Amino acid sequence: MSSTSQKHRNFVAEPMGDKPVTELAGIGEVLGKRLIAAGFDKAYVVLGQFLVLKKNQELFQEWMKDVCQANAKQSNDCYQCLHDWCEEFL
């Protein structure tokens, strides 16, 4: 897990609660605003979409590209963050 960002480690280290979407690894201010505009204002709402897509990396990354124009690295970082969080808490 040493190749993950501090943001990723912080997110995976504790329950999600009511964290804003920008707490997710790979989601900065710009993507955060786009996700909020699309109705995904909280990390748990993005987690819901992740679960609806059955934790499928390809489908999730394609969804992120469509919804907020995330690039491959951003969507991969977010996917990995949610995946690792699920491994820890679900």
Handedness of CA 64, 67, 68, 72 (dihedral sign): positive
What is the distance between the alpha carbons of residues 79 and 87, in angstroms, rounded to a whole number?
12
Range of the domain at 23: 6-89
pTM beyond 0.75: the answer is yes
When divided into structural domains, the chain yields a total of 1
* Domain presence at residue 61: yes
Q: 8-24 burial string, b = 16+ CB within 10 Å, else e?
A: beebbeeebeebebbbb
CATH number of 76's domain: 1.10.150.40
pLDDT at 3: 75
Chain segment 13-65, per-residue pLDDT in tens: 999 999 999 999 999 999 999 999 999 999 999 999 999 999 999 999 999 99
Q: Please say whether the beta carbons of 21 and 32 come within 8 A.
A: yes
Give the helix, strand, coil percentages of the chain, each rounded to 5.
Answer: 65, 0, 30
**Residue 1 domain-assigned (yes or no):** no
